[in-house]
Amino acid sequence: MMTILIDQPEFGVEAGFNKQVDNVEKELVLDGGFMVPQTNSFGHTFRDYHVESERQKGVENFYKTNHINQTYDFVKRMREEYGKLNKVEMSIWECCELLNDVVDESDPDLDEPQIEHLLQTAEAIRRDYPDEDWLHLTGLIHDLGKVLLLPSFGELPQWAVVGDTYPVGCAFDKSIVHHKYFEENPDYHNPVYNTKYGVYSEGCGLNNVMMSWGHDDYMYMVAKENNTTLPSAALFVIRYHSFYALHRLGAYKHLMNEEDVENLKWLEIFNKYDLYSKSKVRIDVEKVKPYYISLIEKYFPAKLRW
């Protein structure tokens, strides 16, 4: 079995806004009945970057590369290439197993395989929202797009797979982590792309906005093009769970439509579980597998094109 190490940069809200997260954590303690754990899997408080300070330089270098290269044209090419869905044919659970040995060494809260995080997220949601089975499944599959790092999917560089996401084709909001590096992005100086609305219009809907390329947008495309019956809120969560500038800092709301506003409520619920379910509560995979297989069969075809 091959072990794949993802040197994933911390999300911007995690990499430089820990005070803000501390405040959010206090607000979330009893929301939905979910008790936010006091410590992560290392016994540290969540998002404590004092103990992770040696990683900060690597994080900054990652975002420099990311911000320079994520242009409107690059995203368009990636969406056209990966939109063909001609890399692999497999089931959702087979994809989960592909990530079984993936460990994100740069995540300060987690040292377990990715599938552990997926199941921790899904099971925490299931406990608090037992009637929303679509949200349980969303928790399981939200990070499956990280397969883009694998050779059979093109082995994309990390700056094109992980990290915060944001719109391209309009001005880069100053709330985005390490914003200064956008000055080296060609779009930053292009009058077609560097205004508040750019190529978009007020209230056009996020579905009409191109996001920086990564695992979020790829998994959204896989689910949508394979005709999943998951509700629009699930697709919204999958596509925007790394869009911290929106759901944590309130940027880009001028591009949202009414459906986005409703779906954002579910994303804000989901993000709490994504962020704070990383603890030493181990999941018995074989015990919960039948339940998630039943959900996969309910919402997805047996085999998907990836």
Q: Give rounded-to-5 percent helix, strand, coil for the chain.
A: 55, 5, 40
Report the distance separating Cα 149 and Cα 59, nearest Å.
18
Q: Is 178 annotated as a binding residue?
A: no
* 57 is annotated as contributing to ligand binding: no
User: Is 242 annotated among the ligand-binding residues?
Assistant: yes
Residue 146 marked as a ligand binder: yes
As a whole number of angstroms, the distance between CA 64 and CA 163 comes to 12
Q: Is 143 annotated as a binding residue?
A: yes
Asked if residue 163 belongs to a known ligand binding site, the reply is yes
Residue 91, annotated as binding a ligand: no
Q: Is 44 annotated as a binding residue?
A: no
Is 274 marked within a binding site? yes
104 is in an annotated binding site: yes
Largest CA distance in the chain: 55
Determine if residue 77 is labeled as part of a ligand binding site: no
Contact 69, 161 (CB under 8 A): no
3-class secondary structure, 240: helix
Phi, psi of 305 (to 5 degrees): -90, 130
- 224 alpha carbon, distance to own chain's centre: 16
Q: Say how far apart CA 270 and CA 241 lie, in whole Å.
A: 8
Annotated binding site: 47, 104-106, 117, 142-143, 146, 163-164, 215, 241-242, 274
Task: Extract the annotated binding site for substrate.
Answer: 47, 104-106, 146, 163-164, 241-242
Q: Which positions make up the binding site for Fe cation? A: 117, 142-143, 215, 241, 274
